Amino acid sequence: MTGRASTAQSSTRSVPARQSWQVAETLGKSFRYASTGVLYAVVTQRNFRLHLIVGSVALSLGVYVHISALQMAVIGLTVGLVLALELLNTAVEATVDLVVGDTYHPLAAVAKDCAAGAVLIAACGSLFVAGCILLPALVRWSL
């Protein structure tokens, strides 16, 4: 099979082979598998890296202008939501590519587009929240 599915599959082969239906035997292995997924997204997904950078800038700005802990938590949660949805979007895309391969199916496009749309909505909401919190703080800080 060629295309994105085979690329995704071959690049994750550095992980020890395991049956996909098996549950991790230890908590440490669970965290290692999750970390592998996050690392995969950082290395292969441009949008994940972009969201990571923008989120880091927003949080750093919050520290710089001394917003409250609650405001930092709200920004952190919205950034976390966007990153989590980006991981789910990556999982949906990989699964769809695995199932349909190189063929086109309109429902595969719907699945991918809806997953990407969820990330877009969350990212816009996150920008709105960060703007509502950070812009007044930046104005106060600059005076």
Q: CB under 8 Å to 64, separation ≥6 — which residues?
A: 141
pTM of the model: 0.82
State the Cα–Cα distance between residues 100 and 92, nearest whole angstrom.
12
To the query of whether residue 93 is one of the catalytic residues in this protein, the response is: no
- Structure confidence by residue, pLDDT tens digits, 107-116: 999 999 999 9
Which CATH topology does 4-142 take?
A: Helix Hairpins (1.10.287)
> Residue ranges of the domains in the chain?
4-142
State the Cα–Cα distance between residues 82 and 133, nearest whole angstrom.
17
Determine which one of 55, 83, 86, 89 is catalytic: 86
- Structure confidence by residue, pLDDT tens digits, 67-78: 999 999 999 999
Among 29, 26, 4, which residue's Cα sits nearest to residue 16?
29
How far out from the chain centre does Cα 88 lie?
7
